[in-house]
């Protein structure tokens, strides 16, 4: 697979899908959605983790969201138990 110059993979456009391909894609999407839903119901902690991240994001409003996210989720594995503060234009 080629890259777009920024490291992101690109795909070749080979034209529209055949009816059979469209049906397979539709089935794949439905199965993926069901599998994802089943997983999320089995792991309610995902909702708590994402909810806490969004709350902190909206409270702190960091200028560099990617760095904030990396700090936030890295702190979940911090053995000291301390939360990293992330970046904030007002810090």
3-class SS of residue 51: helix
For residue 23 the two structure tokens come to: 């049906």
How much is the pTM?
Answer: 0.55
For residue 67 the two structure tokens come to: 């760095």
Query: Based on the number of CB atoms within 10 Å of its own CB, is 57 exposed (0-12), middle (13-18) or buried (19 or more)?
Result: middle
Separation between Cα atoms, residue 56 and residue 80, nearest integer Å:
20
Residue 68 neighbours by CB distance under 10 Å: 21
List the domain boundaries for the chain.
Answer: 19-75
- What are the tens digits of pLDDT across the range 26-82? 999 999 999 999 999 999 999 999 999 999 999 999 999 999 999 999 988 776 655
């Amino acid at each position: 697979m080629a890259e777009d110059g920024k490291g992101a993979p690109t795909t070749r456009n080979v034209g529209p899908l055949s009816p059979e391909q469209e049906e397979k894609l539709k089935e794949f999407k439905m199965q993926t959605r069901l599998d994802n839903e089943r997983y999320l119901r089995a792991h309610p902690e995902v909702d708590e983790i994402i909810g806490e991240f969004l709350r902190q994001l909206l409270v702190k409003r960091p200028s560099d969201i990617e760095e904030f996210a990396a700090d936030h989720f890295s702190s979940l594995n911090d053995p000291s138990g301390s939360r990293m503060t992330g970046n904030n234009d007002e810090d």
